[in-house]
Amino acid sequence: MRRAIERKREGEALSGGDWEAIVAGFMAGSVDDAQMAALCMACLWRGMTFEEAYALTRAMVDSGETIAFDGAATVVDKHSSGGVSDIVSLVAVPLAAACGVRVAKLSGRALGHTGGTIDKLETIPGFNVNLSIDAFKHQVERVGCAIAAQSATLVPADKRIYRLRDHTGTVPVMGLIAASIVSKKIAGGAHAFVFDVKTGRGGFMQDARAAHELAGWLVEIARRFGRRATAFVTNMDEPLGHSIGTGIEIIEARDFLSCHPEPLEGRERTLVLRIVEAMLEAAGIEGGAGRVLAALQSGAGYEKLVEMVEAQGSSRAALESLHADANPSVVASAHAGWVRAMDVVRLGNAGRRLAEHDPVGGLRIAARIGDHVERGAPLAYVYGTDRDAARSLESAFEIAPEVVAPTPVIVSSS
């Protein structure tokens, strides 16, 4: 293992056999956390080839069990490479299921400055993210969708490496990201995938070219496993939605699907509709955007969310009981002008800290890039018991004296 670390430190590519032996040794205990962390850091410094990423994916899939779904109907999964205020999975999974797609989603926890779907779902009282393989399969077949955490037997190597990457600052490695994402998808048993790769200041792939390359890697690794895949590259120069935290994002997803207090417009809606449309296409279901919009407006998507929540041990009442503080603190603009940029990483980290102290703590963004604000106007609202953690967030917003154009949410798709 020391030799493998040294070779990667010097910029060499490790073979498929090397990665297989490394993962097997890590799971057996002959490779310890310190050695694996050192290898991840070497990968951060020196990069990984596509073949290394594919070999690591295969080794991680082989580290545990895999799920196989019965029947001819296509099972679809959707995954984001990690974003701030990204509620798309929480909305897209039940909305696609309401349109007739079977959705089997294995999700992860927060990584770096980004939120984790599992952490968000656990703020719903009674919600069980730890489904057995049989329970996961049965729910997908009966309800039409399930979102669950990796079990101890599904890609256990990824679960351990994922935790190390978060603790050691080695998250933004293309090969590690690709292997982590696709290994969970393959083990989860879906036949087709829709990937959402974030780029910009808040994405792990901040450079657009790197994000497009990662999107291509995800699609090609999936293809090598015999799966169909589509990838979107989307803009994370600002938070996708309005809320940043855990429970506060569940509230936003719930209100989105229930069209309360009114149908949500803007970046979230644009991306959700495109993602779900792609999920329908992957499943061979006709109707496209019109069918998705009808399921949203009729409330069918919200009812499917409630059905999923109830199937996983909670209730409609528990979901609807979540409420943010009615008297948040205000992050006010010190200048009049147009919002030119945001420090998305800083905002994401602040939201995570606030949620650690209060399940419905976090931030709500009040201004978007391109918006005009007056001096003293709210840029964000701070919720929760630890509001001092976000006291200096005004400087996370850059205000310009000249007009700024809004940023498009979807950069490309393939």
* CB 369, CB 404: distance < 8 Å: yes
The two three-digit tokens of residue 181, written as one number: 């994402």
Whether 158 is catalytic is yes
Task: Point out the catalytic residue in the list 109, 159, 165, 304.
Answer: 165
Q: Which of 77, 158, 196, 358 is catalytic?
A: 158
| Residue 6 vs residues 3, 57, 67, 274, 393: alpha-carbon distances, Å | 5, 22, 36, 44, 42
Q: Is 165 part of the annotated catalytic residue set? A: yes
CB 17 within 8 A of CB 38: no
| Distance of alpha carbon 298 from alpha carbon 296, whole angstroms | 6
102, 184, 198, 227: the active-site residue: 184
For 111, the token pair is 């990584």
Q: How far apart are CA 106 and CA 95, in angstroms?
A: 17
Q: Measured between alpha carbons, how far is residue 163 from residues 167, 261, 276 in Å?
A: 6, 38, 29
Q: What is the dihedral of CA 131, 135, 138, 142, to 10 degrees?
A: -60
Judge whether 315 counts as a catalytic residue.
no
- Which of the residues 63, 81, 180, 333 is marked catalytic? 180
The reply to whether 78 belongs to the active site is no
- Catalytic pick among 8, 79, 267, 304: 79
Give the residue numbers annotated as catalytic, written as ranges. 79, 158, 165, 180, 184
